[in-house]
Amino acid sequence: MAKNDTTAENTQLKDIIAHAKEYGFVYPSSEIYDGLQAVYDYGAYGVELKNNLKRLWWESMTRLHDNIVGIDAAIFMHPTTWKASGHVDSFNDPMVDNKDSKKRYRADVLIEDKAAGYEKSGDLERAQSLLGAMGKLLEAEDLAGVHDLIVNEGIVCPISGTSNWTEVRQFNLMFSTQVGSVAEDTTTIYLRPETAQGIFVNFLNVQKTARMKVPFGIAQIGKAFRNEIVARQFIFRMREFEQMEMQFFVRPGTEMDWYKTWAATRVKWHLALGIPEDKIRKHDHEKLAHYANAAMDLEYEFPFGFKEVEGIHSRTDFDLKQHQEFSRKKQQYFDPEINQNYIPYVIETSIGADRLFLMTFCNAFVDEEVDGKQRTYLKFHPAIAPVKAAILPLVKKDGLPEKAREIVEALKYDFNIIYEEAASIGKRYTRQDLIGTPFCIAVDHQTLEDNMVTIRHRDTTAQERVPISELHARLSEACSFRRIFEKI
C-alpha cells in the first residue's frame, strides 16, 4: 500500500474494524441501542488477547525488575487528589467548532494532522516549524493565537470543507459524579482520568510495607476515563479505557539518566513483541505538561499515521510535592545511602492497554494473495495469541473425536485450547487463521495407530507430524512469555 494513499489507509482501518467485530474481538458498546460513542466491548477472543497483553506488561514490570511492585487502587479517589494533581484546573484540551458542519475538533489534533501532511509530502522543515509554533502558543495558553494558526494554515473542516471556525476554548476532560445517598449530603467526585494518582497517594504505604528503597517503581493496571472531544479511530481514543502505568521513584538529579533508561527499555519491549523497527519511533513533546521536565511519546505507524501508543514522562517531584502540600502529610523518603530526606523524582511509563491492543492487532493483520487466492490471518506472537491451539479430528466418527478430546484434556490446564469438529478441515484451518491461532492439531486415522498428529503452522501453513507426547512441550516452548522477555 502506498504510504500517502489515504483511501487505502482508511480501507485498511475499516477492514481491521470489521475483522475485529466479525471474529469476536471488539464490538461497539451497547450495540443493540446503536452503540455509545467511543466506548467498546471486548469479545471472546478480544478479552483473551487483551488479558495476555496486560499479563505480559505486568510480568515484565513486576517480575523482571525486583525493584518494581504492583498495586490496584480504586477508581474513585478523594476529590482533593485532582485539585492537587492539577487536573481540576488544567486537564483541558483546546477545542474548536466548525460553524458550518457544527462538528467539534481538538485544535491541536487539526494542526498535528496538517503537520503530518507536510511530513508525508517530504516537507519536514515545515512540519517541524508548525508543531513548534503550536507548542509555543499552547505553552503560553494563547488560544487566539492557536485559532489564527489554524486559519493561516488554511486548515478546513473535513466535513464542510470551510475554515469558518469558532474561537478556540479549553474543555475539561474529567467525568464527575456524586457520592452520598441524600441530596444535601453529596460530594462531587471524579472518575479518574489517569491511574497514576492512585500510585502517588500510596507512595509511602507501598514504600514502607513492601520495604522498597529508592530507586523503585510501582506498577498498576486499571480503568481511566476521559470525556474526549474527538472520539474516532476505533479503540485508539476511547472515553473509558485501561491504562498500564509505572511510576519509578528516583533520587533527585538522577532523573534524566532514568528517563533515558526507561525510554530504551520500553522501545525494546515493543520490538520484542514483534513490532518492526521502522514502525515505531520516539517523538519528543513540543509542549510539556505542567508536571514534566522531559516527555516523549512512543509512536506506532497505525493505518492513520504515526500516533502515540505510550508516553514516557519525567514528572519531577511535582505530584508528591503537591500531595504533601494539599494533604499536609510529609511525602518524603529517607535515603540511608546519603543520609538525607527528600521527595523523590518520578519517571513514568504510561501505555493504554486498548491502544496496545490496536497496535498489536494492526501489526498482526495480514491480508495477502497466495497463488491467486486471498488469505487473511492474524499473525500474533504465540505467547499473546488468544487461542494457542485448535484440536481438530479429521472426521466426526471412527473414534477420532474421542482421541482428540484426550488431547484437549492433556493440554487445557496450561493452554487456551479450542476443540472443533464441524466443517471440512480446510474451513476449520481458515477459521483459526482468522482469530490468529498459531497451531492447528489434526487427529486422523493414523493417529489411532501411531499416536502422532499433524501440526499445521498458521504463518507458513506448513505441516509436520509430531508425537502426541511432545505437544505439551512444544506449546510450552512456543507460547512462553520467556521468549519475549529474553529479548528485552
Q: Binding residues for ligand ATP, per CB under 6 A?
A: 194, 226, 228, 237-238, 241, 243, 308-311, 350-352, 354-355
Contacts of 2 (CB under 8 A, 6+ apart): 8
Residue 444 neighbours by CB under 8 Å, 6+ apart: 394, 400, 453, 454
- Residue 41 or 228: the one with the smaller Cβ distance to ligand ATP is 228
The CB-of-358 to ligand ATP minimum distance in angstroms stands at 9
Return the residue matching grid coordinates 530507586: 215
- The cell numbers describing 314, all together, are 519525567
Q: How far is the CB of 415 from ligand ATP (least distance, A)?
A: 29
Q: How far is the CB of 386 from ligand ATP (least distance, A)?
A: 20
Which residue has its beta carbon closest to ligand ATP? 352
> Judged by CB, which is closer to ligand ATP: 29, or 160?
29
Question: Rounded to the nearest 5°, which phi and psi values hold at 253?
Answer: 100, -20
Closer residue to ligand ATP, CB minimum distance, 243 or 314: 243
Nearer to ligand ATP, 238 or 387 (CB): 238
Q: Which of 448, 449, 430 is nearest to 440 (CA)?
A: 430
Is 405 marked within a binding site?
no
Strand (E) or helix (H) holding 316:
strand 305-316
- Tell me the three cell numbers of residue 324: 504533601
Element at 128 (helix H, strand E): helix 124-139
Q: What is the closest distance, in whole angstroms, from the C-beta atom of residue 119 to ligand ATP in the complex?
A: 17
Q: Where are the beta strands (DSSP E) in 9-125?
A: 26-28, 40-42, 68-70, 92-97, 104-106
Separation CA 177–CA 453 (nearest Å) = 57
Smallest gap from residue 321 Cβ to ligand ATP (A): 20
Cβ at position 305, least distance to ligand ATP in Å: 12
Look at strands 240-250 and 216-225 and give their pairing.
antiparallel
- HSE on the CB side for 138, CA within 13 Å? 25
The answer to the question of whether 226 is labelled as a binding residue is yes
Annotated binding-site residue? 239: yes
SS3 per residue for 179-239: ECCCHHHCEEEEECCCCHHHHHCCHHHHHHHCCCCCCEEEEEEEEEECCCCCCCCHHHCCC
Region of 81 please: left (phi>0), alpha (psi -120 to 50) or beta.
alpha
355 among annotated binding-site residues: yes
**Closest CB 373 distance from ligand ATP, rounded Å:** 36
Nearer to ligand ATP by Cβ, of 109 and 425: the residue is 109
244 labelled ligand-binding: yes
Give binding residues as ranges: 106, 194, 226-228, 236-245, 308-309, 348-355
Give binding residues for ATP as ranges: 226-228, 236-241, 308-309, 352-355
Give binding residues for substrate as ranges: 106, 194, 241-245, 348-352
